[in-house]
Amino acid sequence: MIPLVCFVGPSGVGKTTLLEVLAFILKPSSGEVMFKNKRIKYDNSNLLEQRRKVVLVQQSPILFTASVYNNVAFPLKIRKFAKEKIKAAVDELLELVGMSDFINAQGQNLSGGETQRIAIAQALACSPEVILLDEPTSSVDVENRGGIEKIIRDINLEKGMSIIFTTHDMIQASRISDNTIYINNGSLSSSIHENIFNGTIFSEGERKFCSVQDDLVFPVNIGEPGPVRISISPTKINVLKETDSNKSKGNVLSGRVIQLTDESDRVRIFVNAEIPLVLLLDKNEYNNNRINIGENILMECSVDSIEIL
C-alpha cells in the first residue's frame, strides 16, 4: 500500500514552500532533494524530466479560459495523444472527480470546489508518479470538502499514486492521511502546537501562574509577568478519575466530550470545558478510561503541559 502523507501546521510555517521544493519549483536553500534514491540536479534538462513525474496543485488553482474538457485535455494535447485517446482519458478523469456533467462548462465560471476538482483531474492527466496538493479544501464549501477528500483517497487507493497534501486542519489530516508530519517554524516537529490561548503571567510569592479568560488560572514555571500566548500540549493532558483529582499537581478541569477521532495508534478527544480542549490519548489509555461522547471527564493540565509561544 502506498501511503497518503499529510504535512500539518498553521499558516505561515513553510508548508507551501516545502511542497514547491518537492515539486522542483524552488531550489532548497540548504540540503539536498532525493527522488527515487537519486539526488536532484538543478539544471533545466534534469528538472523538466522530474517535473513530469511530480505535479503540484496549488491552493488556489487558476484554469484556462476554456472549457472544462480543454482544461483537462491540455496536458494530453501537448504530448500529442490521439484525439480518441484524449477523449477517453478526459471522460475517465472527469468521472473520477465527479465533474462529468461539467465537460462543456467554462473553467473560469466554476466555483472554488469545482475548480479544485478540475485542477486535480488536469494534474492526473499528466500521468505523474506523485501528486502534491496544497491545502486542497481551504477555499471550498463543506459539500465539496467531503467530495475532494474522497477523491484524494480514491486516487491513492485505486491508482496506487503517492499523494502528499498540506492542511492546518488536524481533523482532516487524521481522517484521510496514513502518515501525518508536523511542520512548525520551517522545520519538522514531533508535534504541533494546539490548545492555543491568550493569557497573562503573574506571580504570587515564588510561584507563577497564567490566567486565561479572567477566572481560569494555571500554575506555570516559565514566562515573565505580562501578556502571553500559551499552548497546552494535547499529549500531556491527563485524564483523571474522581479519586485522583485531589492528588493532582496541576489545574483540574471538568468538561464534556463532544467528539472522538481515531488516529491509527491514538484517539483525539475534543472536550468542551471552561475552555475548548483537545486531548491525544494512546489507544491503551483511551481503552482504560472508556471515554464516550457526551461523557463528562476530569482533566489535569500539569505544569509541564504548558508552553509559552
Q: Which of 171, 189, 207 is the last residue of a domain?
A: 189
232 and 273 Cβ atoms separated by less than 8 Å: no
153 to each of 78, 128, 149, 220, how far by Cα in Å? Answer: 28, 16, 6, 43
CATH number at residue 31: 3.40.50.300
Q: Are residues 183 and 208 in the same domain?
A: no
Q: Are residues 149 and 63 in the same domain?
A: yes
The CA-CA-CA angle for residues 265, 268, 269, to 5°, reads 140
- Phi and psi torsions of 234, nearest 5°: -70, -20
Q: Are residues 176 and 203 in the same domain?
A: no
Q: How confident is the model at residue 179 (pLDDT cuts 50, 70, 90)?
A: confident
Q: Are residues 97 and 169 in the same domain?
A: yes
Residue 247 above 60 pLDDT? no
Grid cell at residue 94: 472527469
- Number of structural domains in the chain: 2
Per-residue model confidence as pLDDT tens digits over 119-177: 999 999 999 999 999 999 988 887 788 899 999 999 999 888 999 999 988 778 878 88
167 and 140 Cβ atoms separated by less than 8 Å: no
Nearest-angstrom CA–CA distance, 48 and 25: 10
CATH number at residue 276: 2.40.50.100
Per-residue model confidence as pLDDT tens digits over 12-34: 888 999 999 999 999 998 889 99
In the chain, pLDDT over 90 holds for what percent of residues? 48
What domain range is 171 assigned to? 4-189
Q: Which of 133, 156, 189 is the last residue of a domain?
A: 189
Q: Are residues 180 and 276 in the same domain?
A: no
40: helix, strand or coil:
coil
- State the chain's mean pLDDT as an integer: 88
Q: Are residues 16 and 141 in the same domain?
A: yes
Nearest-angstrom CA–CA distance, 303 and 236: 10
Q: Are residues 96 and 29 in the same domain?
A: yes
181 to each of 139, 143, 153, 185, 192, how far by Cα in Å? Answer: 22, 26, 17, 13, 9
Q: Which of 159, 189, 219 is the last residue of a domain?
A: 189
